[in-house]
């Protein structure tokens, strides 16, 4: 290999993965094995080709754009909520179940999307998966704005959720591709901020838009924002998945040198189709053969379901019981937003300190991020009981809002803690 490659290998990262006196992280050596033992292995040659060795500025810009994508997807779940009663009237539909389904069918799409998007990203790269997901999200939200009846609205909402879930499915992997373990707490906090704040911003915007422009404009405004972020993503978001990057490099070298025996070091003799198959089978096998993973997935699914069921009650409780207008009813989500921010801050502070200590001792494991889920789950339960009791008793409206804040603190801690950005699959 070249002398530059040797310089990459000789660079040493501190035990905790932090920087020393530089605005740029020290080159990562974790991707470099003894490739010189096999001259046919294609490895990194220039430090900056490895996403872990990109500049801090480049990494944080990438993470911020991914977080913006995540925020839009989360915002899309709740932005129509204040306008659903008007939507139901226009489509001559009624029933609380159908009204809730306008919101929940979008989240149902989250179950389908990752089954397709995540494997595609493993086989062909994260960048095209982001662009396909963002493009589909844009198209189907435009379609929602032109929906002629309730049936088409349900179909369009489901498809919007299926494509929009891309940043949910890929964000943790993108962070693992770029960021050292000790810094992943902060990176995860920035990424997950979009997920936790989005459902709060959505109804706040949707309340005023529905009141003054009509419910269809909720989807068109969402599409305008999605188009803007899609354009930014096409420029800013670059490929980060190491096996795909090395596979591309190998193909170029094969064409340039004529040596067809060259193979990428990370995945030798593995085609894109085989990677696609592995990325579908391996997680599925782990889900049904590991009791811990199965229970964790089941719990997170329950928690996420609870969040959106809770959101569907806000309009009925605060408009029906407390007499809030359509515009003002969107503001009741701010209690949840405050709780989400507090939960995000608590998680980031705790995990950065705890993970750094474990890394220094050389005993860090991905599951070390999970214990914080216990107090988070307790706070979530407390907040739900608080909200339900106070809303039923019809005490002052600030009391159930405080309950939603505690529920948000707990749910945010639980949800962020389960996102293990280490490569365990």
Cβ–Cβ < 8 Å for 409, 372: no
The predicted pLDDT at position 9 comes to 42
What's the token pair of residue 272?
Answer: 């894109």
pLDDT band with cut points at 50, 70 and 90 for residue 40: low
Q: Rounded mean pLDDT of 302-331?
A: 83
Q: Which of 46-50, 125-129, 291-295 has the highest mean pLDDT?
A: 125-129
Nearest-5° angle of CA 16, CA 19, CA 23?
160
CB count in 10 Å sphere of residue 222: 28
Query: Residue 375: is its pLDDT beyond 50?
Result: yes
- pLDDT of amino acid 111: 82
Weakest mean pLDDT among 319-333, 353-367, 375-389: 353-367
Distance CA 170, CA 59 (A): 15
| Separation between Cα atoms, residue 9 and residue 100, nearest integer Å | 56
Q: What value, to the nearest 5°, has the Cα angle with vertex 172 and ends 164 and 263?
A: 105
For the chain, list the domains and their CATH numbers: 47-255 (1.20.1250.20), 290-424 (no CATH)
| DSSP state string for 163-210 | HHTHHHHHHHHHHHHHS-GGGHHHHHHHHHHHHHHHHHHHHHHHHHHH
Residues 336 and 286: their CA atoms lie apart, in Å, by: 34
Place 296 in a pLDDT band, splitting at 50, 70 and 90: confident
- Count CA atoms closer than 13 A to 17's CA, side-chain side: 25
Residue 313 predicted with pLDDT over 80? yes
Q: What confidence tier does 148 reach under pLDDT thresholds 50, 70, 90? A: very high
Q: Report which of residues 56 and 28 the model is more confident about.
A: 56
Model confidence band, residue 194 (pLDDT cutoffs 50, 70, 90):
confident
361 band by pLDDT with thresholds 50, 70 and 90: confident
pLDDT of residue 71: 92
Where is pLDDT greater, at 22 or 208?
208
317 secondary structure, DSSP code:
I
Report the alpha-carbon angle 257-262-265, nearest 5: 135
Tokens of residue 5, six digits: 């490659």
* pLDDT tens, position by position, 203-248: 889 888 988 999 999 999 999 999 999 999 999 988 888 777 777 7
Bridge partners of 342?
Answer: none
Tokens 């002052």, residue located: 396
CB 404 within 8 A of CB 388: no
Between 356 and 24, the higher pLDDT residue? 356
Element (H, E) at 376: helix 373-393
pLDDT of residue 41: 62
Tokens of 118: 């995540």
- Please state the separation of Cα 280 from the chain's center in Å: 19
**Residue 310, pLDDT score:** 87
pLDDT band at 93 (very low <50, low <70, confident <90, very high): confident
């Amino acid at each position: 290999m070249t002398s530059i490659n040797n310089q990459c290998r000789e660079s040493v990262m501190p035990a905790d993965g932090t920087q020393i006196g530089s605005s740029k992280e020290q080159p990562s050596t974790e991707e470099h094995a003894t490739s010189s033992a096999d001259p046919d292995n294609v490895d990194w040659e220039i430090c900056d080709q490895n996403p872990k060795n990109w500049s801090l500025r480049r990494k944080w810009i990438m993470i911020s754009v991914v977080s913006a994508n995540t925020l839009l997807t989360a915002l899309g779940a709740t932005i129509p909520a204040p306008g659903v009663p008007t939507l139901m009237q226009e489509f001559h539909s009624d029933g609380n179940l159908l009204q809730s389904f306008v919101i929940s069918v979008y989240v149902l799409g989250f179950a389908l999307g990752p089954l397709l998007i995540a494997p595609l990203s493993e086989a062909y790269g994260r960048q095209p998966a982001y662009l396909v997901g963002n493009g589909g999200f844009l198209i189907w939200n435009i379609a929602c704005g032109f929906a002629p009846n309730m049936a088409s609205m349900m179909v369009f909402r489901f498809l919007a959720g299926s494509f929009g879930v891309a940043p949910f499915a890929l964000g943790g992997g993108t962070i693992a591709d770029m960021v050292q373990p000790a810094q992943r707490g902060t990176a995860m906090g920035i990424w997950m901020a979009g997920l936790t704040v989005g459902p709060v911003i959505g109804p706040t915007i949707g309340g005023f838009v529905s009141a003054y422009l009509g419910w269809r404009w909720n989807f068109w405004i969402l599409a305008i924002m999605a188009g803007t972020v899609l354009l930014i993503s096409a420029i800013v978001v670059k490929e980060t998945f190491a096996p795909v990057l090395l596979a591309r490099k190998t193909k170029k070298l094969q064409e340039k040198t004529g040596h067809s025996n060259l193979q990428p070091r990370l995945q030798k003799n593995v085609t894109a189709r085989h990677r696609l198959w592995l990325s579908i089978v391996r997680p599925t096998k782990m889900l049904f053969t590991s009791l811990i993973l199965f229970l964790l997935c089941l719990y997170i699914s329950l928690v996420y379901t609870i969040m959106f069921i809770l959101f569907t009650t806000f309009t009925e409780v605060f408009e029906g019981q407390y007499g809030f207008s359509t515009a003002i009813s969107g503001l009741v989500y701010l209690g949840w937003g405050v709780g989400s921010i507090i939960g995000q801050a608590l998680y980031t502070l705790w995990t950065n300190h705890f993970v750094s200590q474990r890394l220094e001792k050389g005993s860090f494991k991905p599951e070390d991020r999970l214990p914080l889920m216990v107090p988070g789950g307790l706070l979530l339960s407390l907040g739900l009981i608080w909200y339900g009791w106070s809303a039923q008793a019809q005490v002052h409206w600030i009391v159930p809002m405080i309950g939603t804040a505690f529920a948000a603190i707990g749910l945010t801690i639980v949800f962020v803690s389960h996102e293990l950005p280490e490569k365990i699959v």
